[in-house]
Amino acid sequence: MIDIFYKYNGKLALSQTESDLATLRREDVVWIDLFAPESAQKRAAEAFLGVEIQSRATAEEIESSSRFKETDAAIFANTNFLMPGPEEYSMEAVSFTLVGGTITTLRDVPLRSFTELQRKMMAMPHLFPNGYWVFASILDQRVDLDADMIELMSKEIAQYSKRINQQEDINEDFLLDINQLQENTMMVRENIVDKQRLITNLTKSDKYPPELEARFNTLQQDIASLINHTNFSFERLEYLQDTVVGLINLEQNKIMKMFTLISLLLMPPTLVASFYGMNVNLPGMQFRFAWLAILGFMVLLIVGVIFIFKRRKMM
């Protein structure tokens, strides 16, 4: 699928046919959005731009040289967009190609930030004079969505903290849930840092319009704030994890203490039972109700051990 946004009579028009690129001027085209494109659509965009659009494999590489590259003709930038799932998050690579005032995006999944921006462009075309403004708006939308995800994660962390305070369902599954939340927090932080690095590289270029400098500076400040928030969230999760481990250890210690006390309580009666269980003649065995006396003695020993434990505050 291809969406071509171009200037027409002072407004923005939309075309979804790659053949229209052959009749359009490059200075009129603001944005070419390639969403899981066919080979013909990608080739048409490359012929129109005069450069080769980076592949998905290149977009997914983590080396800084592959994340941002600038030539005399174009700027190539790659970044990841975080996709929230029911339990864990995933990263989807998006490739940007800036040639003159035209931006080309290549992606394989639907993205809410792109859809919302396209609606905004058609409603307020004067806010998007060229592709750099589109690029800044995409990053702005993405940072806002990342902020929303961090806010939701903070609420989820608060719920886990409340459950710990109320000691509800503190077990291994609870600990695994916190670990998964830690993984999601690290992915969010990695995603935000990737945007920070991309903006830093772009502001070093001489190609982007100077009037966008204030907007990129604001984005950098927002990103720095989000990074601090994710660091705090991760530290809080580590604290919750340590608390859960401590509570589980205390519960296990209580169980071990109970078994130890039971063993100590039964040890004296077991010794008496073993002594009188020998197949030999022992004093008192000739009486008919000698077993009652032995049983009473065993009970007395148990009561005595309990008294000693309680006096020493061991129970």
Q: What is the pLDDT of residue 182?
A: 81
163 and 264 belong to one structural domain: no
Q: What is the pLDDT of residue 280?
A: 61
Last residue of some domain: 248, 281, 296? 248
100-148 per-position pLDDT tens digit: 888 888 888 888 888 888 888 888 878 888 888 888 888 888 888 888 8
**Count: domains in the chain:** 2
10 and 137 belong to one structural domain: yes
45 and 104 belong to one structural domain: yes
108 and 155 belong to one structural domain: yes
146-169 per-position pLDDT tens digit: 888 888 888 888 887 887 777 666
Rounded average pLDDT over 57-82: 71
DSSP annotation string for 211-260: GGHHHHHHHHHHHHHHHHHHHHHHHHHHHHHHHHHHHHHHHHHHHHHHHH
Helix or strand or coil: residue 115?
Answer: helix
More confident residue, 314 or 120: 120
Nearest to 52 by CA among 73, 35, 38: 73
More confident residue, 315 or 155: 155
172 and 92 belong to one structural domain: yes
Rounded average pLDDT over 224-252: 80
Average pLDDT, the chain: 78
More confident residue, 151 or 170: 151
65 and 114 belong to one structural domain: yes
Rounded average pLDDT over 84-107: 80
CATH number at residue 270: 1.20.58
Q: Using CA atoms of 95, 216, 155, 238 in order, give the dihedral in degrees to the nearest 10.
A: 80
9 and 131 belong to one structural domain: yes
Rounded average pLDDT over 186-201: 84
127 and 241 belong to one structural domain: yes
Q: What is the pLDDT of residue 104?
A: 86
17 and 57 belong to one structural domain: yes
More confident residue, 201 or 261: 201
Query: Domain of 31?
Result: 2-248
